[in-house]
Structure 1
């Protein structure tokens, strides 16, 4: 009888251990795909790859970033929204998710997703070619006024955050400029460095490599304070223009992902956001780490959507 009880106990122990092991390994069983709605080399792509490479060690599987560009981000946003809700396809949602609907560029809003976490925020800059004939924002404004309708300011897409940033600046400065769209910030920055356009209104992170190479110069940043790594760059407010504006980026899931899988992803990416290696990488990229959990991010999305609509109406950018 004693032997039978011991055998039964051993069997129960082995079954329980196996059961626990199976339960802990239900997800993930394979690699995860992370969709980036913007082009390789831009700020969104850079920060997304940084957080994903860090999150891999906490998630216990590979995370492959896949760039799906076009339609001012709407192609990538739709791919995330329409993905199978099994936790193996998610993506980065950005400011344009909240601006595209106001232009009729997409028939869905932030409500089509389950927000996971906010990753970062970045202010816009006004950046020009290094040998441009203006060295201050005031000189650039004077140049624009002397050449009405002829100065080209590049952005990442029509109605994108960088388009709106340039529109706010132009409105505040009272200048008439042409807004030139690109499929992502990287192309716009390359164009200004090559002298094909006069300026860009993208983030500091997105002009960093060209700035460090001496190919461009940043006249001002639309932030509340000067950037720590570049203290010589003045804020827009210091230059006499009351403009603070920038983008946000976060991770979103298609609706319907189970609570258990959400919890695993939330834990992995939250740990990644707090990881010293990620924080160091973000700093090197000149990107601001701005963490929000799922609940706070959801509230932020709603408020930002409504505020963005009001701003776009003011600038005449709505459909």
Structure 2
């Protein structure tokens, strides 16, 4: 395993210890807690970036014996994360169900996919921002973001961008499009990271965006990164240029949050 990835995993494991201490401190008047397993709802399919992120925390908590009850990751995918976030919102506010959801909790409400948002939950913590990688299939004719964006200007609406409409991935795509005057993509609904990867590999879309964790997971299976949307190059992939370095004025990232039902 690359040293950079090991370092990232150690950092996330350390964050897991911190998040658990914060979570336990949220329930000082509840007596004995937890009384049963704690379910972490991840509102995306297994294998995507959010799922991997939550399971790193799960493993760190298990290995360090931080909880007398098991922490269980439950994938409740669909509708851009809103099915899972609704399930968390409607759960009993006793601390035994929590939600791991990034900026999608904001964008779903803004886009009109949900009539609830951050104000309908109890915030627990924010645990780090992740960069976004713009990727194409390994056999794509585009070897740089500059080449691809020029094609998007020359042939507007012809390049198909696989995204999760209303989710942060969609907003990343919009930032990318706006970063090159005249560029136009045709956006199509593909779902979470694992589904976007399948669509890209299957030749159904020309490009898509992944979180750093998703790209790390999928890259060996035959995809090609063209850029990150970070301000500076990602430490995990120092050879990968940013969009800004390639003349595209686009910067975007994902912040991971932990939430509990209102009234917890």
- TM-score, with normalisation over the residues of structure 2? 0.83
Pick the aligned partner of 2:172 from 165, 172, 179: 165
Match of 2:228 in 1: 221
**What is the CA–CA distance in structure 1 between the aligned matches of 2:100 and 2:86, rounded to whole Å?**
11
Structure exhibiting the larger radius of gyration computed from Cα positions: 1
Pick the aligned partner of 2:158 from 150, 160, 173: 150
Q: Give the deviation of 1:104 after TM superposition.
A: 2.0
Match of 1:137 in 2: 145
**What is the CA–CA distance in structure 2 between the aligned matches of 1:205 and 1:27, rounded to whole Å?**
32
- TM-score, with normalisation over the residues of structure 1? 0.69
Q: Deviations over 1:90-143 (max 9, x none)?
A: 111221110111222212120111111112321222101112111111111122
Which structure has the highest helix share of the two? Answer: 1
Pick the aligned partner of 1:233 from 229, 240, 245: 240
Cα RMSD (Å): 1.8
**What is the CA–CA distance in structure 2 between the aligned matches of 1:101 and 1:188, rounded to whole Å?**
22
**What is the CA–CA distance in structure 1 between the aligned matches of 2:107 and 2:262, rounded to whole Å?**
20
Match of 1:182 in 2: 190
Within 5 Å, give how 1:26-175 maps onto structure 2: 26-56=32-62, 57-155=65-163, 157-173=164-180, 174-175=182-183
* Secondary structure of 2:196 counterpart: helix
Q: Which runs of 5+ in 2 are unaligned?
A: 1-28
Question: What is the number of residues matched between the two proteins?
Answer: 233
Q: Deviations over 1:121-179 (max 9, x none)?
A: 21222101112111111111122233321111112x21211111111111121211111
Q: Give the deviation of 1:248 after TM superposition.
A: 1.4
Q: Deviations over 1:180-211 (max 9, x none)?
A: 22221111112212322110022232122332
Q: Which runs of 5+ in 1 are unaligned?
A: 1-22, 258-319
